[in-house]
């Protein structure tokens, strides 16, 4: 029984790791590889720890040594921009890049269009429906409780309070 549970948990962990790795690959390809004007990306295979030097370290060192590192020193100071100049120029698109949150889904979106597409998603509509339903149930419970309290005579509540206080 114990071995069966361990085997099942191990399989679930492998599946979750595989799904997360798949998500990471999508994220890296969307955010770094497929965008223009980004740094070059070099894939390294780190699946086997015993081959780490051969598959990761040596190729990484080769990339670093073949890069023309000395070109960074040839930047002319007049051509460099300060952060303030960059912010004031049109080269940096900051419009709509404000952190926005969805109160119903606990999601954080960076751009305005991300929030707009999230608001149209099935996940948001489902979470919003659940929130709206719980809100209406809560308001119904509060209304019922208020009616119960208003129907009870104030003198009865005082008498009940006094009898309860004297018995304790």
DSSP per-residue letters across 73-125: GG--GGG---HHHHHHSTTS--TTEEEEEETTTTEEEEEHHHHHHHHTSHHHH
- Using an 8 Å Cβ cutoff, are 108 and 100 in contact? yes
Q: Please indicate, yes or no, if residue 93 is contained in any of the structural domains.
A: yes
Q: Point out the least confidently predicted range of 26-30, 77-81, 85-89, 90-94.
A: 77-81
Q: Please indicate, yes or no, if residue 31 is contained in any of the structural domains.
A: no
How far lies 12's CA from each of 1, 8, 24, 36, in Å? 17, 6, 18, 37
Q: Please indicate, yes or no, if residue 7 is contained in any of the structural domains.
A: no
Q: Please indicate, yes or no, if residue 145 is contained in any of the structural domains.
A: yes
Q: Please indicate, yes or no, if residue 1 is contained in any of the structural domains.
A: no
Q: Please indicate, yes or no, if residue 106 is contained in any of the structural domains.
A: yes
How far lies 108's CA from each of 77, 98, 112, in Å? 38, 10, 11
pLDDT of 83 above 50: no
What is the span of the domain harbouring residue 129?
A: 84-150
pLDDT tens digit sequence for 117-168: 888 889 888 988 888 888 888 888 888 888 887 776 555 565 666 666 566 5
Please give the residue that has the higher pLDDT: either 102 or 8.
8
Note the pLDDT of residue 5.
92
Please give the residue that has the higher pLDDT: either 101 or 140.
140
In this prediction, residue 78 has a pLDDT band, given cuts at 50, 70 and 90, of very low
Q: Please indicate, yes or no, if residue 140 is contained in any of the structural domains.
A: yes
| Confidence (pTM) | 0.33
Can you tell me the distance from the alpha carbon of 88 to that of 92, in angstroms, rounded to the nearest whole number? 8
Q: Please indicate, yes or no, if residue 130 is contained in any of the structural domains.
A: yes
C-alpha dihedral sign at 63, 66, 72, 73: positive
């Amino acid at each position: 029984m114990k071995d069966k549970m361990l085997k099942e948990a191990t399989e679930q962990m492998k599946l979750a790791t595989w799904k997360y790795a798949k998500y990471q690959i999508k994220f890296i390809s969307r955010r770094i590889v497929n965008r223009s004007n980004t740094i070059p990306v070099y894939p390294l295979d780190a699946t086997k720890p015993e081959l780490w030097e051969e598959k990761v370290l040596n190729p990484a060192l080769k990339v670093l040594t073949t890069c023309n590192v000395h070109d960074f020193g040839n930047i002319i100071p007049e051509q460099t921009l300060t952060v303030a100049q960059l912010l004031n120029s049109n080269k940096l698109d900051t419009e709509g890049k404000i952190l926005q949150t969805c109160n119903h889904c606990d999601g954080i979106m960076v751009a305005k269009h991300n929030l707009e597409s999230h608001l149209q998603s099935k996940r948001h509509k489902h979470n919003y429906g659940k929130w709206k339903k719980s809100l209406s149930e809560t308001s119904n419970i509060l209304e019922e409780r208020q009616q119960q309290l208003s129907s009870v005579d104030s003198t009865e509540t005082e008498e009940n309070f006094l009898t309860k206080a004297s018995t304790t």
